[in-house]
Amino acid sequence: MHDLLYSLVRPAIKLLDPEQAHRLAVVSLKRGLMRPTASPDDPILATSVWGLDFKNPIGLGAGFDKHAEVIDAMFGFGFGFVEAGTVTPQPQPGNSGQRLFRLDEDEGVINRFGFNSEGLGPFTERLRARRQSGAPSRGIVGANIGKNRTSEDAAADYETCLAAVAPLVDYVVVNVSSPNTPGLRGLQARAPIEALVGRVMAARDRTADAARAEPAPKRPPILLKVGPDLDDDQVRDIAEVVLETGVDGLIVGNTTVTRPPTLRSRWRDAEGGLSGRPLMGLATECLRSMYRHTGGKVPIIGCGGVSSGEDAYAKIRAGASLVQLYSALVFNGPGFAVTIKRDLAKLLRRDGFASVTAAVGADHG
């Protein structure tokens, strides 16, 4: 039903500036103009990662709900988990000018937002209100954290964000791979990421220790979100740091600064990070390499280019325990997760897998 409605209104949406269209969607969901209720999930899709029970492995990636405004509305569209953010310690407007471009001919998106954020105050206030309402039973929620553009101590920003969100979410993502914040991707080099991870993990432990007096202290898993443009040496370095420091998981990957020669849209050379269908191959190969270098010991969320159930299945077989999407919603509507789940369940059964977990890393033999 929601896909049909979206197909009817999409021509009008395409007339809007892409960022305005996105904001209109969020406001509509926030005000209850759309009240989706997805049907129960196929039992074959249920999975457990980090001791958390996911009703299905299809999640909403960071970027759609930057300010934690519509988490539960998105669960209504059938997502098994929703990741809010990226949030920064202090409010910041992000980059100026046009910052979002639809590449309709390529089913791709380029963004150059630059971590536009309302800051931790409103973000945590919404998360806290949600927990107090009893809504957490609807699904797993993650918070994606970043640094302020002008910060001279990136690790301190991540520590601040972690301390604020850790008691309120099920997992925390340390985003070190957005191409739209100057110097951020440099944190993926071995020495910087090793130092950053050490401080973030210590901050998580301090936060958990301070909460021991509470009835249910939170010690959420920490994930690193890395980009798809890493070479094999960089992947190996990050894998070794993750294994040595005890990071709980990875998200592979973020948007890419590369531009495939097959792009046809007039926006193909716009500045920013490319996502959507053109990213699928690059991101999946990086995921495959990361799974190989970690020996499958660290759960990975596969992100980047998922536009079908076949794409989600390919991520899982390459080594992803869970899968995220976002850009595909621009071209297929917010109810697209239901289609992906249906097709994924068929593919699992076709190949004789009894669960998502059984299929993880299947391509590696």
Residues with catalytic roles:
178
* Cα 177 to Cα 147, 193, 255, 314, distances in angstroms: 11, 11, 8, 23
Run of H or E including 2? helix 2-13
CA-closest candidate to residue 139, choices 252, 32, 53, 227: 53
What distance in Å separates the CA atoms of residue 78 and residue 40, rounded to the nearest whole number?
Answer: 8
What distance in Å separates the CA atoms of residue 356 and residue 365, rounded to the nearest whole number?
Answer: 16
What distance in Å separates the CA atoms of residue 302 and residue 280, rounded to the nearest whole number?
Answer: 10
Which residue type, as a one-letter code, is found at position 71? I
Tokens of 7: 């197909």
Helix axes 190-210, 232-245, angle to 10 degrees: 30
Which residue type, as a one-letter code, is found at position 222? I
Contact, 321 vs 299, CB < 8 A? yes
